[in-house]
Amino acid sequence: MSRTRVEDDPARTDLESLLGSLGLGIARPLLEQALTHRSFAHEAGGIPTNERLEFLGDAVLGIIVTENLYRAHPDVTEGELARMRAATVSQRPLAGVARTLGLGEFILLGRGELVTRGREKDSILSDTLEAIIGAAYLENGLEPTRAMVERLCAHLLTHAARLSAGLDWKTSLQELAAVHALPAPVYRVEGSGPDHDRTFAAEAVVGRFVGTGTGSSKKIAEHGAAEAAFEMITAAFGSDA
């Protein structure tokens, strides 16, 4: 595939540096396809996008993460393993891995996505990372790709249990409070600012523990407050309690 560029596309072309971060060899045409967002492909005359590679990479990532968690947590139930997997392969943490790689700088995007800061969007970053995983699998097979994924996602795999709690901090906080015979969480939320630019501040009160959070909506603020209270209670009672 030729690397046709649309006007004002600042994507980096030094793909060797990206390969160095990945620690695996991927043929340049395949790597370029993994980096080609559909917005760029459309403007470049309908060249192949990274969507098929993303589809493959999602499946490869799923089996690698599932087996890793299965082996690392022999006493954890199927339901909790499923939550841990879902949290590990969800959009936000994968986007964080992509940012660590500087992946956004290499993605080929159309003008519309460039204008709306597509290189910073969690959805585009996580999808492109999955496409890279798909390309790595095609080029190198499962075991080298497994080693790459486990290295890049080591922090996520190590903290999978905490990430799974983060899928719904309010529910996790309620369950933690019950475990330690604490009162059920009570939320207090206040909003400020004009209607078009509201900011909300929330408190999650669990007995003597008070977590705080802010956000552009009540839901986001309460979510942050619940996470803060969860961390306070975990620190006070110990993570194994």
Catalytic residues: 58, 130
- Exposure class string for 84-100: b at 16+ Cβ within 10 A, else e: bbebbbbeebbbbbbee
Beta-sheet strand order (sheet of 199-206): 186-192, 199-206, 209-215
CA geometry: angle at 77 spanning 96 and 159, to 5°?
25
**Cα–Cα distance between 137 and 24 in angstroms, integer?**
10
| 3-state class percentages of the chain: helix first, strand second, coil last, to nearest 5 | 65, 10, 25
**Enclosing H/E stretch for 192:** strand 186-192
**Cα–Cα distance between 51 and 201 in angstroms, integer?**
39
